[in-house]
Chains A and B, each alone.
Chain A
């Protein structure tokens, strides 16, 4: 992952830089998660030095930021393939990358060393904004807006320049506009906590359950063509169907966050029924990926080749995405999306179980797949196959995250029964539920599975660094042997 050697376009070289930072932040995310997980079991760990709130804030911020990096990287990577052109403002794009990375570094250092400020506007501007996932201080918000404008300029004007506007790029350009615009909804201060959360969910929900999902649909479409040689007309038709279903259910599905925050009762109905439909497109996406895979594999075998897959680690991660998205967002999301259930599960470890499996299954997986695609391009590999390390990474990370999810689901279930249904919430109810053996054991298993995930991550980082060299060497040896 360290060289760009075989890439023809500057845009794709820039993409590799985004991927590099993303993987570093992914590692940081996991370390912070482990600190927080240890604190659940040993509350004295780093107490009043590096408190849970700090570890968790960095955990979820690193998560959002590495995903945005990998997303921007993926777009810069596909622009030349989809438009046939270099990105129009590549010099500006590179500058923006370095500015963003410098800003992210400063923000993280401030989170870690300054942590909290006094109750004043200047804290919101310079230290942190104290709103889950959107903690970045206001100055950084403005910086992010500037960088995203540069990015969008590159995407949009390169798209305009292309002779044939592909369906994939059309969806990408429109969707990125919405995705970037939504960020603005999270950039103001209000004394009214209900108003605050109303708009906060516009960013969070309309990202992960609408625009990011469509983004994943576009990436999957691009990757299926690239890895399997799937037929563009079919893939793009599916893409439009997915857009229809994702936005049709996801936009008004926003209502499932408006059950209890002071908003009117009619959101019960709207939120319940629109969000109950959200799993449907996720099933469709799953079927689509498997169908195309099977079809192209069949063609390849009929033609005498042993596989249709030009990049097996990327394909494995994309197939995991198809299933993980359906499982984490679709199934785990549906579990708690009806108000009759959500009144009890709202804000328990159940939510955390869903958050982990959904973010991992829907986004981490496919973005890792895109990184493997990048490595393939950077080393000019024709057919990339999995190494032992690729397999270990795939297995351990998936096993670890699934294990954490199951553990947290059990913890959440216990909270629902004891803290919520039986004792009705409140301070005492909370701590009674936190101290019961089922809960404590579940937290212990989460820690164990978190360590498994981290080991898997080490394999992943190691593999991304070395696989290009290994496979390209083998490829040139076998070419030399046949010659």
Chain B
């Protein structure tokens, strides 16, 4: 399924994630953005319950 790793040093996680176009960067963007959903719902609850 995966292409052979193209990095010079393939023993590391980032090179491994860098298997096909975009795999690494999509992963990192996801890590950054997903928790914002959690923050969103938490704030919503707080506002609805009449905080601040």
Contacts and interface: CB of A to CB of B under 8 A. Distances in A.
Q: Do chains A and B touch in the complex (CB under 8 A)?
A: yes
Interface of A: 248, 252, 264-266, 269-270, 272-274
Interface in B8-52: 8-9, 14-15, 17-18, 21-22, 24-25, 28-29, 32
Interface of B: 6-9, 14-15, 17-18, 21-22, 24-25, 28-29, 32
Contacts of A265: 6-8, 15, 18
Contact of A269 (B8, B9, B24, B32): B24
B1 to A, nearest CB: 19
Contacts of B17: 266
Q: What DSSP secondary structure best describes chain A's contact surface?
A: helix
B7 A266 contact: yes
Contact of A266 (B18, B29, B32): B18
Nearest to B17: A266
Contacts of B8: 264-265
B26 to A, nearest CB: 8
Given A264-B7, A265-B6, A265-B7, A273 B18 contact: no
30 contacts: A252-B28, A264-B7, A264-B8, A264-B9, A264-B14, A264-B15, A265-B7, A265-B15, A265-B18, A266-B7, A266-B14, A266-B15, A266-B17, A266-B18, A266-B24, A269-B18, A269-B21, A269-B22, A269-B24, A269-B25, A270-B24, A270-B25, A270-B28, A272-B25, A273-B22, A273-B25, A273-B29, A274-B25, A274-B28, A274-B29
A264 B24 CA distance: 13
A266 B19 CA distance: 9
Nearest to A271: B25
A252 B28 CA distance: 10
Nearest to A252: B28
B25 to A, nearest CB: 4
A272 B29 CA distance: 12
Contacts of B21: 269
Nearest to B33: A248
A273 B32 CA distance: 13
Contacts of B28: 252, 270, 274
A264 B28 CA distance: 17
A192 B21 CA distance: 30
Contacts of B15: 264-266
Contacts of A273: 22, 25, 29
Contacts of A269: 18, 21-22, 24-25
